[in-house]
Chain A
């Protein structure tokens, strides 16, 4: 096994050499603070209450400008998600207006059904860009499409600590990251200064303030709480089967470790006489 040890050693050494030789380069992106997420780690699962609050923030604030075209109303009632009942999800759907064709092929509008996808606020990207300057990104995969550079050696540790929540950390920080532009920072018109946005100039105006969304479950109605809840909701939207994945993962791990152990002793037995 000394070869394996040497390999590990070589990897570590190579990394160390590189890290020592290079001065830390000025990061363009400010790393967001790490938050506690219920869905982190091997036993992680979504907090239903948090997802329901996050959905409320999304529906009342985000959905005004952002589409989430890959989710349908039925997803809201599926296991591992926000835990709405089917009737609740159907009620949410029926509030939405869906563009459709009637029996004679004429365009019509009807209330949504469980099978419908979330309707988008704009008919297409051009229309969205015409209103906002830049088309607000679709939110279906947003929590997996945003991250920040972890850098060496942190990305190596992330393999072992299973840190996979860069996306929600970044989004939560961004929502709270609006500041006055520092002296000398050239902010274009319609731009907003955000501490965590790469390059700091973000087109989206600050979307959330304290007290903006009313919670029914007594959770604090603060920017802090809103941003964390909606980030958790976006993570679920991007990875709706995370809970199932981690649950099966644990079973697979236990199975494989037991299997490998048994095979090890089988191997010892077989080789004993070889």
Chain B
């Protein structure tokens, strides 16, 4: 669904170049005349925000890497050196650490939006699965980056998370030793995490290119969930969509700057300002906020292996929802029952996030179990059955009709 490129450069050199590599035409058709549904709301600006955040993380990360030392005796000190002695090092580090949180905040809004409006449905299955892969890569990258600080929480998070693999029957312990590069989390672990933390963002960037490519093949979904039928249903990518994206990006940056400049340690854990000490276990080991729902799922199950399976299943299940959801109507706007189940699921996700930060005891465990069961039931029971039993509302004939109808 690429726009019809009318790109014809006037400049002689550009004409010469375009004949040999039609880069200008590609950019023109993908980012200028590319048609965008005219009824997109601000939730559709988060794709652009995510691309921006990936750029911020890579640029700040590359400069931070110039000042960081991946060694167990020096890592914490070098991070403090960045905070104290590198010119604007504190800014780079706070941008990077809070940037990870903002990246996840944006990706969660992006994912909730995709599920609410049925953006994963035919013909966008591959687009959606590429998104799930990006999300998985983000989780791995974020986790390894957190370890690099080599504070108490870094060290113990690395210990807990790598130990998950020991639940695999038979070969579990061997795998964990292999992951560590030793018999405990130590210098080899830190070094490989550093290497991978530098590598994975570029893998993410590659998958993002595929994600955008797949998006430009299928075209964007929109709040009505019906495809554009005529030129009246769409606007040009530039200037209409770009100016909207850039405006909301600026609003998003206000939130980002609020965290960076005023409450830079709000989302972190105080224990991570204590250098890693294998001999002292912190009172509580808590992952970063964006992993908390999955941590709660893990701990809600008494059996370690089953807990680990549930943890991974809770993410992998996302890749299958294009087929688990049997409804022919995409948008929750026209699915009254789905809408309610969806918001319940959002509450379950947030509830799990809160429970992940609590000690697994008493009522917290029971609540985690209830939310975990609902988390999976939403995908495995609600989605397949609703498509059969739900009475959906009538769809508008076209996007422009729905827009004008709302105005009238």
| A17 touching B84, Cβ below 8 Å | no
Contact with B80, one of A140, A256, A266, A267 (Cβ below 8 angstroms): A140
Of all chain B residues, the one with the shortest Cβ separation from A163 is B263
- B257 and A252 contacting across the interface, CB-CB below 8 Å: yes
With a cutoff of 8 Å between Cβ atoms, the chain B residues found around residue A241 in the complex are 83-84, 90
| Contact count band on A | 35 or more
Interfacial chain B residues near A147, Cβ < 8 Å: 270
* Interface assignment of A119: CB less than 8 Å from any CB of chain B: no
Tell me, yes or no, whether A207 is within 8 Å of chain B by CB: no
Chain B minimum-CB-distance residue to A248 = B261
B residues 221-276 in Cβ contact with A at 8 Å = 235, 239-240, 243-244, 246-247, 250-251, 253-254, 257-258, 260-266, 270-271, 273-275
Most buried by A among B84, B264, B364: B84
Given contacts A158-B263, A198-B283, A248-B261, contact A266 B247 (CB under 8 A): yes
Least CB separation from A158: chain B residue: B266
Is A274 part of the binding interface, using a Cβ–Cβ cutoff of 8 Å?
Answer: yes
Q: By the criterion CB–CB under 8 Å, are A14 and B265 in contact?
A: no
Query: Which A residue's beta carbon lies closest to that of B272?
Result: A145
In the complex, the answer to whether B347 meets A14 with C-beta atoms within 8 Å is yes
With A145-B271, A145-B273 as given contacts, are A274 and B43 in contact (CB-CB < 8 Å)?
A: no
Of A3, A11, A198, the most chain B CB neighbours within 10 A belong to A3
**A20 touches B (CB below 8 Å):** no
- Is B363 interfacial (CB 8 A cutoff)? yes
Q: Which residues of A sit under 8 angstroms from B275, Cβ to Cβ?
A: 138
- Whether A14 contacts B261 by the Cβ 8 Å rule is no
Contact with A along B265-306 (1 / 0, CB 8 A): 110001101110000000100000000000000000000000
In the complex, whether B350 has a CB less than 8 A from a CB of chain A is yes
Asked if A97 is at the interface (CB within 8 A of a chain B CB), the reply is no
Tell me whether A263 and B247 are in contact (CB under 8 A): yes
Within the complex, what minimum Cβ distance (angstroms) separates A177 from chain B? 18
Residue in A10, A158, A267, A271 whose CB lies within 8 Å of B346: A10
Taking chain B's interface residues, is the majority helix, strand, or loop, or is none over half, making it mixed? helix
Q: At the interface, yes or no: B111 with Cβ under 8 Å from chain A?
A: no
Q: Does B116 contact A (CB under 8 A)?
A: yes
Q: How many A-B pairs fall under 8 Å by CB?
A: 125
Question: Is A141 a contact of B274 with CB atoms below 8 Å?
Answer: yes
Whether a CB of chain A sits under 8 angstroms from the CB of B38 is yes
**Once the chains bind, are B273 and A238 in contact (CB under 8 Å)?**
yes
Partner among B239, B266, B354 whose Cβ is within 8 Å of the Cβ of A15: B354
- Checking A137, A244, A264, A274 against B274 with a beta-carbon cut-off of 8 angstroms, the contacting residue is A137
A42 and B367 contacting across the interface, CB-CB below 8 Å: no
Is A159 at the interface (CB under 8 A from chain B)? yes
* Residues of chain A lying within 8 A (CB to CB) of residue B263: 158-159, 162, 164
Let me know if A106 is at the binding interface, CB within 8 A.
no
CB of B10 closer than 8 Å to a CB of A: no
User: Known: A238-B273, A249-B261. Contact between A263 and B246, CB under 8 A?
Assistant: yes
CB atoms of A21 and B363 under 8 A apart: yes
With A70-B77, A252-B257, A270-B240 already in contact, the answer to whether A260 and B250 are too (CB < 8 A) is yes
Q: A4-B42, A248-B91, A263-B243 are in contact. Are A146 and B265 (CB under 8 A)?
A: no
CB proximity of B154 to chain A, nearest CB, Å: 13
Complexed CA–CA distance, A271 and B244 (Å):
9
Inter-chain CA distance A259–B346, complex, in Å, is 33
Q: How far is the CB of B346 from chain A (nearest CB, A)?
A: 5
- Contacting residues of chain A (43-62) with chain B, CB-CB under 8 angstroms: none
Whether the pair B346, A7 counts as a contact (CB closer than 8 A) is: yes
B343 contacts chain A at the CB level, 8 A cutoff: yes
A260/B257 in contact, CB under 8 A: no
- A253 with B257: in contact, given A15-B354, A137-B274 (CB under 8 Å)? yes
| B42 contacts across to A, CB distance below 8 A | 1, 4
CB-defined contacts of A42 to chain B, threshold 8 Å: 262
The answer for the CA separation of A51 and B80 in the assembled complex, in Å, is: 21
**Chain B residues whose C-beta falls within 8 Å of the C-beta of A250 in the assembled complex:** 261
Contact between B274 and A257, CB atoms less than 8 A apart:
no
- A249 in contact with B343 given A21-B363, A21-B367 (CB within 8 Å): no
- Given known pairs A70-B84, A144-B270, A162-B263, the reply for A267 and B254 (CB within 8 Å) is no
* Nearest opposing residue in chain A for B362, CB measure: A25
A40→B248 CA distance, assembly (Å)? 29
Contacts of B41 in A (CB 8 A): 1, 3
The answer, yes or no, to whether A245 is at the interface (CB within 8 Å) is yes
Query: How many angstroms between the C-alpha atoms of A267 and B242 in the bound complex?
Result: 9
Complex CA distance for A6 and B94, rounded to whole angstroms: 31
Whether B351 is near chain A, meaning CB under 8 Å from some CB there, is: yes
Write the chain A residue with the least CB distance to B346: A10
Q: Is the CB of A3 within 8 A of B270?
A: no
User: Given contacts A21-B367, A267-B247, are A252 and B240 in contact (CB under 8 A)?
Assistant: no
Chain A residues near B80 (CB, 8 Å)?
70, 140-141
Given contact pairs A10-B347, A274-B240, A256 touches B250 in the complex (Cβ within 8 A): yes
**B198 within 8 Å of A (CB atoms):** no
- Within 8 Å of chain A (Cβ to Cβ): is B112? yes
Contacts of A144 in B (CB 8 A): 265, 270, 273
Collect the chain B residues with CB atoms within 8 Å of residue A18's CB: 351, 354, 367
Annotate A198-210 by CB proximity to B: 1 below 8 A, 0 otherwise: 1000000000000
Tell me, in angstroms, the Cα distance from A70 to B250 when the chains sit together. Answer: 37
27 contacts between A and B (CB under 8 A): A1-B42, A3-B116, A4-B42, A13-B347, A17-B347, A18-B367, A42-B262, A71-B84, A75-B84, A141-B80, A146-B270, A159-B263, A164-B262, A164-B265, A240-B84, A248-B91, A253-B258, A256-B253, A256-B254, A259-B250, A260-B251, A260-B254, A263-B247, A264-B247, A267-B243, A267-B247, A271-B240
The 6 closest A-B pairs by CB, nearest first: A249-B261, A145-B273, A263-B247, A260-B250, A147-B270, A141-B273
Identify 18 new A-B residue pairs, CB closer than 8 A, beyond the known A6-B343, A21-B363: A3-B113, A14-B346, A22-B364, A138-B275, A140-B80, A141-B273, A152-B354, A158-B266, A164-B262, A166-B270, A241-B84, A245-B90, A246-B262, A248-B261, A249-B261, A256-B253, A266-B243, A274-B38
